[in-house]
Amino acid sequence: MRLSDALELFYTSMYGIRAEKTIKFYTDRLPSMTKILGDLEIEDVSLDDLRLWRTKLSKREVKYKDHKYHPPVEGKLSPYTIRQYVKCARRFFKWLEEEGRLENSPARRLEMPPKPDIPRKGISKTDLAKIIAAAEKSSIRDLAIVLFLADTGCRVGGLANLKIENIDLQNNQALVFEKGKGGNAKKRQVFFGNRTAYALSTLIVQRPDDEIHQGASDYLFLGSKKSQGSYRKLTENGVYQVIKRLALQIGMKSGYNPHNFRHGAIRGWLNNGMPLSLASQLAGHSSVNVTGDIYGTANERELSKAHQVYSWLE
pLDDT at 303: 74
Average pLDDT score over residue span 266-271? 89
The DSSP-derived string for 218-281 is TBS-B-SS-BTTBB-BPPHHHHHHHHHHHHHHTT--S---THHHHHHHHHHHHHTT--HHHHHH
Q: Which of 11-15, 18-22, 308-312 has the highest average model confidence (pLDDT)? A: 11-15
pLDDT at 63: 64
Average pLDDT score over residue span 45-72? 81
pLDDT at residue 38 greater than cutoff 50:
yes
173's enclosing H/E stretch is strand 173-178
Domains of the chain: 3-98 (no CATH), 125-306 (1.10.443.10)
pLDDT at 183: 45
Average pLDDT score over residue span 75-103? 93
pLDDT at 181: 44
The sign one gets for the Cα dihedral 217, 223, 24, 267 is negative
d(CA 269, CA 294): 14
- Of residues 5 and 255, more confidence is placed in 5
pLDDT at residue 60 greater than cutoff 80:
yes
Q: Quick: pLDDT tens for 180-226.
A: 544 456 789 999 999 999 999 999 999 887 789 888 899 999 998 88
